[in-house]
Amino acid sequence: MVRSKWFLTVLVVLASATVGCGSSDRPADGGAVTTAQRFAQAVGNDDHSRACSLLAPTTRKQLEQAAGAPCPTALAEEELAVAGGYADIAVFGTMAQVRFSEDTVFVTKFARGWKVLAAGCAPVPGAPYDCRLQGG
């Protein structure tokens, strides 16, 4: 598992700011939901190479370093749960929290589009999100 207390603190601040910030079924997110959905679908289909292509560079690097293996192998070892159906999104500039019925995915925008910063995230009452996969 890849974990970072600093990153979790950033996530809890972002998540706290999302309270009451829902969106319609077709949010104007510029691709954040699409990226999160593609990642979730790739993980659900065991297409770890495709899922790795959607990771933020720091997330991919930390995953590979922690596992001592290439990204697809390391991601498979994380055994991320199936995300389930799309629930909602909260966008804050270049960061977004995409919630599914069974997972929360954090994405960030780069010059070439949105990338997954953290996945396999669950809220922890009074504490930062606990994410199985994250970079930061």
Q: What is the pLDDT of residues 58-113, one digit of tens each?
A: 999 999 999 999 999 999 999 998 999 999 999 999 999 999 999 999 999 999 99
Predicted local confidence at residue 1, as pLDDT: 44
The candidate with the shortest Cα–Cα distance to 120, out of 92, 98, 89, is 98
CATH topology of domain 5-14+29-134: Nuclear Transport Factor 2; Chain: A, (3.10.450)
Contact assessment for residue 96 and residue 113, using Cβ atoms and an 8 Å cutoff: no
Q: Are strands 113-124 and 104-110 parallel, antiparallel or unpaired?
A: antiparallel
Q: How many CB atoms lie under 10 A from the CB of residue 22?
A: 12
- Which run of H or of E encompasses 64? helix 57-67
